[in-house]
Chains A and B, each alone.
Chain A
């Protein structure tokens, strides 16, 4: 497996990519502005396009997180959707608390589903979620702790490769089953919805949507720089070495377990943040987000874009989801064939993804 270690002298392709990326980010930043133009204006962008782009930005953050673990450290997690969903649930709990007495049952504290299920008091694990900083902290903390526990158990006993993948898939599967239960206190299979406001701003207002869009975009850019910094650091090189020759790194005296654990936990926290940005924009979170299919779909974004390249991961998230939106509108039956076909085509023909294709053309 050829490592894509950052070369000190930027090639022309790298410079071109960089320029293209900056251009795309600027274009994205313009979208909420163009959305404000009158509807008949030539440059007007519809609400639908802005909101779906906001979703894709969250997906791109998730893709970066997966790429950090898979593309650089060789940890193919099939359970990153669980971290994403947990982050979403944390912020969802905050949004539910903010509904307050405006729910259908008008209970001052308890969300509707709890009144419906006959709760009398707020469960302990719901305490504190009326505070936004606490909810945001939990959106990072809970996925981080889960990844820490699973990762510690897995890496300590040197579970690698497909075994690790299957364990993470089992993890998200188990969480899905658990969250489908009503008595978990997370709204059962309906999850959370009917959110009203965030930080005092009504969620359906255009300004709030634009703010969430910019928050997501800023997070995407920030995550990119964080990941780029990590992968270029000494730790990043150790991670790449772990991916390519784990035993050798171990023999050289590096703690493989710690390096993997660090990157897995960080990756889970980034996924949680992506989920926390995603839920206020789509207005719903339910246990379906935990389904193993979601996680593996996110993995294929990274594979399509080109794993081991951060830009590629984000590019993959955008392009696959654009294709999904397009295909599910014109030919819904074909989408699963296309997605399945992508899995086959990328692994067999394009092991380095779209970016690899660009690189291959040049060399």
Chain B
């Protein structure tokens, strides 16, 4: 009894795969027949969903499928010849390539596409979704539905959903077509728009529904565009924020106008280049050269700032115009020195792998990772700067000296030392901005000149002496710039922003966040 039961279970267990295998082998045998048989076999293999069918069909499409006189099929690959049915190594002697015609080719393409939809390889699935989307046939609907249910990668899911909607659009059944239209209405891509326009011409009966779908689709596209513009604006704004933050300390808090500020940014970028060169060839250090460059750039630019303040600027306190001219000269010298030391051509800074690539947010929004890192970095630097000014002994002394130098001195604060440290601090922040800029801009000796005017604008716009103003000023200038760009072009947008700023200063000469009280003088 137990033996009989065991036998039945064994038989049942064996029969399931055996049945599937039979279907595969049956269809496979068809490939050795005439063209009509071949096409039928290809379709059956495609519908069967057996992963073993994919290499066979590919081999046939590429002319690498061989046939022995006894109709055994062989696959020729770079590694050698194998039997199509079993995968065992085989001898190619006496075998000839299997010939196909165009009808078979079309069937093969469809079958390969369907099989690839469920392939274990993500790239293959993505390519298959794209291929199915292009062929657009109602027959693919069940396959796509099945594949979509199994799919876990969001990007491929979106692609498959689009392909499914496209396939539904060409279905004979109006309800299925409506499903497709509804799906496309929310897709929010130009591709979906083109599909809908095409469908409107093909099926006039559904015209009103398609028009309604187009309206909601355009709304989705507009929202997506706005989000993209906002992201680009925030990205530009964060760069401006980094460049202006140091200036907010030296110019805003200390009142020293430093035209060499852009060159400190440039020094930071070159510090990044040097650190990266030093890390090259040490495999475990290479990916971390950028984080290492941050303190290095801070120190280099900070030291240069301290030297500039102690050596030169100190003698010109109270003479802002002279300070402006003198620091401009220093900037010139720094630029030329770097040009001679590193060459005038651009230096490349390689982004580490963990910063590269694009991040896809839900809804198909593409976000470049290195720009995201710059945004995060700028906010961290802003937070650290505020914390340093608010909560440290140095910050306290700094505020005391800027508010009332004499009283601070009588309280025992060494004002000269505080001046030097504050200036070094602001310059160091500029150096850190250089690290971030090296990721998104060319590192060249005149890297800083492009940012210095914008940075001053940010500080003046936000309100001299206010770090919150610098944040708001930088981000809003960045966003406004990017908002204007599609209408006016990059250059005119910049011009318009400059003109707008001049007019803004008319109404609020002290910026968005004016200082109040005695310090405002």
Contact = CB atoms under 8 A, between A and B. Distances in A.
B329 A340 contact: yes
A259 B326 CA distance: 28
A178 B509 contact: no
Contacts of B326: 343-344, 347-348
A174 B495 contact: yes
B252 interface: no
A153 B333 contact: no
Contact of A76 (B324, B332, B456): B324
Contacts of B499: 174
20 contacts: A150-B502, A153-B506, A157-B509, A170-B453, A171-B498, A173-B453, A174-B499, A177-B491, A178-B495, A181-B489, A181-B492, A337-B332, A337-B333, A337-B336, A340-B330, A342-B329, A343-B329, A343-B330, A344-B329, A347-B329
Interface in B449-469: 453, 456-457, 460
A299 B460 contact: no
A83 to B, nearest CB: 17
A181 B491 contact: yes
A342 B325 CA distance: 10
Nearest to A75: B321
Contacts of B366: none
Interface stretch (A37-45, A161-169, A247-255): A161-169
A167 B505 CA distance: 10
B88 to A, nearest CB: 68
A343 B325 contact: yes
Interface in A125-162: 150, 153-154, 156-159, 161-162
Nearest to B327: A343
Interface centre among A76, A150, A347 (most CB of B within 10 A): A347
A344 B509 contact: no
B492 A178 contact: yes
Given A76-B321, A161-B321, A181-B491, A166 B316 contact: no
Interface centre among A166, A303, A339, A346 (most CB of B within 10 A): A166
Given A76-B324, A162-B321, 18 more contacts: A157-B506, A166-B456, A170-B453, A170-B498, A171-B502, A173-B453, A174-B495, A177-B495, A178-B491, A181-B491, A299-B325, A303-B325, A333-B340, A340-B336, A344-B312, A344-B333, A347-B325, A351-B322
Contact of A174 (B316, B321, B494, B506): B494
B453 A343 contact: no
A180 B321 CA distance: 29
Nearest to A344: B329
A76 B324 CA distance: 10
Given A76-B321, A300-B325, A153 B331 contact: no
B383 interface: no
B380 to A, nearest CB: 28
A336 B505 contact: no
Nearest to B509: A157
Nearest to B493: A177
B332 A167 contact: no
Contacts of B320: 161-162
Contacts of A161: 320-321
Contacts of B501: 170
B316 A348 contact: yes
Interface string A27-58: 00000000000000000000000000000000
A133 to B, nearest CB: 31
Contacts of B315: 348
Interface centre among A154, A163, A340 (most CB of B within 10 A): A340
Contacts of A341: 329, 333
A92 interface: no
* Chain A binding surface, main DSSP class: helix
Given A170-B453, A174-B494, A333-B340, A347 B332 contact: no
A170 B329 contact: no
Nearest to A179: B491
A173 B491 CA distance: 11
B35 interface: no
A336 B336 contact: yes
B477 to A, nearest CB: 12
Interface centre among A156, A165, A341, A342 (most CB of B within 10 A): A165
A292 interface: yes
Given A166-B460, A337-B333, A347 B322 contact: yes
B457 to A, nearest CB: 7
Interface in B416-457: 453, 456-457
A225 B321 CA distance: 27
A257 B492 CA distance: 30
Contact of B498 (A173, A180, A296, A340): A173
A238 B202 CA distance: 81
Contacts of A351: 322
A296 B506 contact: no
Nearest to B490: A177
A153 B499 CA distance: 11
B325 to A, nearest CB: 5
B335 interface: yes
Contacts of A153: 502-503, 506
A174 B503 CA distance: 14
B184 interface: no
Interface in B303-354: 312, 315-316, 319-326, 328-333, 335-337, 340
B257 A162 contact: yes
Contacts of A169: 453
